Amino acid sequence: MRVPVIDADSLARNWWAVLLRGIAAVMFGIITFVAPGISLAALVLVYGAYALVDGVFAVVSAVRRHGSTDRWWVMLIEGIVGIAAGLVTFFWPGITALALLYLIAAWSLLTGVMEVIAAVRLRKIIAGEWLLALSGVLSIGFGVLLALFPAPGALAVLLWIGAYAIVFGCLLVALGLRLRSWQRHGTAHPATAAA
């Protein structure tokens, strides 16, 4: 089943939400490199804030897409999971390093799967969907690495998280800017124009 063209238009109209998600991820990544001696408690709070903000933007995007597509719920689930991950870190700040790593791994895996699904559904509608797919694959890979190797030192894990957040954020910023350009110029992906 093909996603309606209106879905891509809705995504382009909300380019700012994608861009803000990317900027939040880059800022989170930079903080982990600038302050590598950050305590685990501070990391938990920074991660919680990032996951909460990312989840809120995903929910806002899903609500705005409601009615324009029957797949808006995928983004809603991603947002709810992000909000839940953020709230868990705030309500239980004494969470252990291992539990935090598994929480981040699970969130990263689910987010990655949802992004790959969205990219596949949008592949014939927008140009640059590969950026969303690549960010999804990166999320899945990161989640798998954290789940398989949770025991490395805290600094190494902190740097993994920072690097992941910067690359993931840059991909979302690039996608957001491409969507913004598409909306401003009113140009469609060649497959859409041909239809």
pLDDT tens, position by position, 141-191: 988 888 887 766 456 677 877 888 899 899 889 988 888 888 787 655 544
The pLDDT of residue 151 is 63
Q: List C-alpha distances in Å: 191 to 63, 126, 153.
A: 27, 8, 48
User: In terms of C-beta density within 10 A (0-12 exposed, 13-18 middle, 19 or more buried), how is residue 40 classed?
Assistant: middle
Residue 2 banded pLDDT, cuts 50, 70, 90: very low
For the chain, domain boundaries: 5-194
The pLDDT of residue 191 is 44
The pLDDT of residue 190 is 43
Report which DSSP code applies to 150: -
The pLDDT of residue 165 is 86
**pLDDT at 38 > cutoff 80:** no
As a whole number of angstroms, the distance between CA 129 and CA 31 comes to: 28
Sign of CA dihedral 48, 53, 56, 58: negative
* pLDDT tens-digit series, residues 98-129: 677 787 788 889 989 988 888 888 777 777 77
Name the β-bridge partners of 69: 66
